[in-house]
Amino acid sequence: MSSVNIRPKETVATFTIHSEGTGVAQTARPGGTSHAIEVDTLPAFGGRDSAPSPVSYALAALVSCNQVTAQIVAKEMGVTLASFVFDLSADLDTAVMVGGAHDRNGNFESVTVDAVIRTDATPEQFSTLKAETERRCPIAQLYIKSGIPFVSNWRAESI
């Protein structure tokens, strides 16, 4: 009888987090780093507001991942991205999380990202940059594929 050795694709990176906490506060530590991510929440949700909430981190991850992915895509395209300004708005009905409502969805009701990016990209290049960033950004894909209304408005400003 032969054994089967199943290995992930060579391009798959595994990320790990170890977390410990009490109440609603916790410290999460990404594997392979010395970083610590402190998490808490607002008093309305049982916290002390001593650190950003999980929702804040999830939304910050979206714009941060957009910026990282855009830089990767821009480098491949030979385009310079000098700076980014992101404004994000997300509507979340807390009735499921806080009240346990069964007739609603615990996901965001909508997410809108407005971005202003200083770049030397032509309008055509900028359009490609935006589309490729959205397609390749794993955090953007989490939101997009969840089925919620997701709007991403990007505007270029010349360097």
**pLDDT at position 106, please?**
84
**pLDDT at position 2, please?**
55
Asked if CATH classification 3.30.300.20 holds for the domain at 54-158, the reply, yes or no, is yes
**pLDDT at position 94, please?**
85
81-131 pLDDT, tens digit per residue, is 999 999 999 999 888 888 888 888 889 999 999 999 999 999 999 999 999
**pLDDT at position 51, please?**
97
Q: For the range 69-74, what are the long-range contacts, defined as Cβ-Cβ under 8 Å and sequence gap of 24 or more?
A: 69/133, 69/136, 69/137, 69/140, 70/117, 70/129, 70/133, 72/136, 73/129, 73/132, 73/133, 73/136, 74/119, 74/121, 74/129
Average pLDDT on 70-79 reads: 98
| All structural domains of the chain with their residue ranges | 15-52, 54-158
**pLDDT at position 61, please?**
98
DSSP states of 47-113 as a string? ---SS--HHHHHHHHHHHHHHHHHHHHHHHHT--EEEEEEEEEEEE-THHHHH--SSS-SSEEEEEE
With CA atoms as reference, report the closest residue to 153 among 69, 82, 87: 87
DSSP 13: -
128-153 pLDDT, tens digit per residue, is 999 999 999 999 999 999 999 999 99
**pLDDT at position 4, please?**
64
41 has a pLDDT exceeding 60: yes
pLDDT interval class at 9 (50, 70, 90): confident
51-68 pLDDT, tens digit per residue, is 999 999 999 999 999 999
**pLDDT at position 34, please?**
97
Cα distance between residue 83 and residue 61, in whole Å: 17
Give the type of residue at 146. S
